[in-house]
A and B are shown apart, each in its own frame.
Chain A
């Protein structure tokens, strides 16, 4: 009996030791996750990142978190620098900020611990925004109606405003959280309902028009930076539907925006898989400010950017057909090209033509962005961006399976009869760069966990060395459901936030300036 108890204790100790061993550089790992500057690391001179017993796992973990490991002998001013230092307490692994040598982490090197230096189980951990977290919630700084009027926005009261509920201010940043300062004039609006998409159109007379897409409508609002004012509302003629996508552009170059709105109508049967039928319209702001459809139901995915609009249909058992058609607008009439202008292997929303050249930015099978040649659809070598964009849970389209899977039985509820295809997160070309979303916030463990981490927008640039990622806007400790980036007196962003990853919790709209 005594031997048995002793054996169990040994077993327990072994387990604990193993867990501890698996994460033996907690400080370094934490700092790598928190770092919000350029994601590149420099290793000590002469270190082979493939073979070195100590640094190979460090390099591997950094790569998994989206860092670039600089070649031997190259240092960095904007990234992080590793070194080893002999101290009176023994050899220490040191992590410093390249810009000024500020010490970020220092941990003792233990003999024999090197092969399990860092756990790779937590790649792409969120980068929380300490500045925002610490920011005091202040009273609205503008003259607005009381908070009780915030909740409802209805057509019958077009002059009603949505007032800001939080105005963020900058705080001092610590070495542990090297995030740049936040703009003073950021504003958050609490939204009524659960909007799914947002696009922005700067107005020459000042402010911006915001088009917010709900399951049952598209709302046009105007913001002067302090208030949101509901102007117009369009309801699709089909109901009930789910919002999928809203794009904005100027198809006929008349200075007035057009919108491409796509909804899904889910057809359910007692013993069939859910089948999402697509409904889409081109909307326009006509004279008198009314928002109305100027096309028939296009029954497909519609993407609109600048003056280019495209249509791609769904197939019965596939998320998309390869044929992509061009849409044009002339004399108030939307026409579809008679023949497809190209054949695609991807859904319209999963790609973006790179500004000013013939390549396209696409998501690869590992959920990373890379460039492909537009014509041949072949990958451009060295163009894969090793940034972890996190798992995005956007709108889905349900596609019936041709051969349903009998997962647990014969009954309809026991079968897998459809698959949900998640539409890609938004890619926006602006100022020669591309912007998209990094999902750094996670929902936490089922039942016991709480959401943690932060989402943020990422700016992707292209150089002769490939793609690089920068973060011009502050991270946000909420799920970014959608966003829009525009240039009006500088680069600004509007992000649609939600308390839940699926966009069905309390919703906010935040207007962000650059750091």
Chain B
């Protein structure tokens, strides 16, 4: 004990006297989100099922807190970044670090239990870097990585664990190579025998090249999804182009999926995005975009054609994205798009092979989303006031796998519905802002045929401290 204390004393003394070894910065955000979700099942008469959020499942009104504290130490060639986070629905239990009940339904009382899935304060993100040379930078941890988040976000954007390299191959050429172990759950047994230690694994290998060509960035990318958990192996081939030409900011993406299930079913699908933003004036920057994900036309055959990405990250893309827009919330109980996703990958329920939480189904109907929106700076009205608004018109790509609510065999209509979002943000201070999002999903004939004709709505206020 005495020696230990002496050692501690010496270490503290040395630490106090020594020069600092690295620049360390601390930063963080604290967000409180009073939110009200209503009618996500498109039916006034029934209660909504639980709606997935980062804090867990919620129904109706709730207060969510997303509290982050990060620190980053860096030298010339290296850096270590860690971000601790707790993300909770604000209840007595979560505030007191009480029971971790998650979302549950009590049939006896016909009530949902409150949830505090994120009540633990833990390391939400880690990024560890070392640059051996400009062309070789080692990167690992679990932090945000994406393949196509600057355009349509059709394939991948998430904070899964990764290890890999990135670097600058030439003045205008960069690359990023990643191994992403999304699931590594362990072995499975058949009686006493271990039949596989990979049966629940899901790993992704990706490579993206970025080539600057004039005012454009041209990025071919490739990803191989080895999804043992779903017994599916899929190769994705994509191309992303972003840039600026005069007043216009076009962006484009196309991705093809090619693979198969262990059962022999063939996976072949396509997704694409094209959009353009026009810099008219600071108060009005309109955009138009089209987002396509292929649908499956026959769930009973061996051709799996419904588009399922690794993590569809439409919510955070520059043009159509809105952090809190209604289509980016969990509409799994009706339209079929999961949290962050714009594609109805959660619909139908057969041949799963990816998506957020590995919950996307290959027989989903796919969609065509035509988007029209605008954003702008309203400082001429009030300094530091800005807005974004958008309308999505959504069609199903294929409806053969969808069923009428009344059980009839009539085809479900192609037109799924219309969403409208309006976001207003007021940055009162460099460190504090308030933004409000109002969003509605008005069901079209396609959703009415399956669920109901009542309007889904979200009201989300975000009080955000940034430091």
Q: Which among B323, B386, B466 is the interface contact of A269 at CB below 8 angstroms?
A: B386
Docked-complex contact A14 and B157, CB < 8 angstroms: no
Expressed in whole angstroms, the Cα–Cα distance for A365 and B385 within the complex equals: 36
Docked-complex contact B13 and A270, CB < 8 angstroms: no
Docked-complex contact A269 and B9, CB < 8 angstroms: no
Q: Is A3 an interface residue (CB 8 A)?
A: yes
Q: Is B188 an interface residue (CB 8 A)?
A: no
Expressed in whole angstroms, the Cα–Cα distance for A267 and B285 within the complex equals: 12
If A408-B125, A411-B323 touch, does A4 touch B5 (CB 8 Å cutoff)? Answer: yes
CB-CB contacts below 8 Å: A1-29 with B? 3-4, 6-8, 10-11, 14-15, 17-19, 21-22
Q: Which among B16, B144, B313, B380 is the interface contact of A409 at CB below 8 angstroms?
A: B144
Docked-complex contact B5 and A414, CB < 8 angstroms: no
Docked-complex contact B377 and A267, CB < 8 angstroms: yes
Q: Which chain A residues lie closer than 8 Å to B28 at the CB level?
A: 408
Once A and B bind, how many residue pairs between them come within 8 Å at the CB atom?
Answer: 103
Docked-complex contact A270 and B387, CB < 8 angstroms: yes
Minimum Cβ distance to chain A for residue B250 (Å): 15
Docked-complex contact B29 and A408, CB < 8 angstroms: yes
Expressed in whole angstroms, the Cα–Cα distance for A7 and B1 within the complex equals: 9
Docked-complex contact A412 and B323, CB < 8 angstroms: yes
Docked-complex contact B13 and A18, CB < 8 angstroms: yes
Q: Is B195 an interface residue (CB 8 A)?
A: no
Docked-complex contact B125 and A410, CB < 8 angstroms: no
CB-CB contacts below 8 Å: A256-271 with B? 265-271
CB-CB contacts below 8 Å: B1-59 with A? 1-2, 4-6, 8-10, 12-13, 16-17, 27-29, 31
Q: Which among B17, B125, B144, B383 is the interface contact of A116 at CB below 8 angstroms?
A: B17
Q: Which chain B residues lie closer than 8 Å to A406 at the CB level?
A: 143-144
Give the most central of A240, A267, A270, A411: most B CB within 10 Å: A270
Q: Which chain B residues lie closer than 8 Å to A14 at the CB level?
A: 9-10, 12-13
Minimum Cβ distance to chain B for residue A63 (Å): 16
**A-facing mask of B255-276, CB < 8 A → 1, else 0?**
0000000000000000000000
If A15-B12, A22-B17, A413-B29 touch, does A10 touch B316 (CB 8 Å cutoff)? Answer: no
Q: Is B70 an interface residue (CB 8 A)?
A: yes
CB-CB contacts below 8 Å: B414-440 with A? 423-425, 427, 433, 435
Q: Which chain A residues lie closer than 8 Å to B384 at the CB level?
A: 268
Q: Is A316 an interface residue (CB 8 A)?
A: yes
Q: Which chain A residues lie closer than 8 Å to B143 at the CB level?
A: 406
Nearest residue in A to B12 (C-beta to C-beta)? A15
Q: Which chain B residues lie closer than 8 Å to A407 at the CB level?
A: 27, 70
Q: Is B321 an interface residue (CB 8 A)?
A: yes
Expressed in whole angstroms, the Cα–Cα distance for A3 and B423 within the complex equals: 63
Expressed in whole angstroms, the Cα–Cα distance for A8 and B27 within the complex equals: 33
Q: Which among B9, B70, B322, B387 is the interface contact of A10 at CB below 8 angstroms?
A: B9
Docked-complex contact A408 and B9, CB < 8 angstroms: no
Expressed in whole angstroms, the Cα–Cα distance for A19 and B17 within the complex equals: 7
Q: Is B379 an interface residue (CB 8 A)?
A: yes
Minimum Cβ distance to chain A for residue B410 (Å): 41
Binding site for B on A (CB under 8 A): 3-4, 6-8, 10-11, 14-15, 17-19, 21-22, 116, 239-240, 265-272, 277, 316, 406-414
14 A-B pairs, CB-CB below 8 angstroms? A3-B1, A4-B5, A7-B5, A10-B5, A268-B377, A269-B375, A270-B386, A270-B425, A406-B143, A408-B27, A408-B70, A409-B144, A410-B316, A413-B29
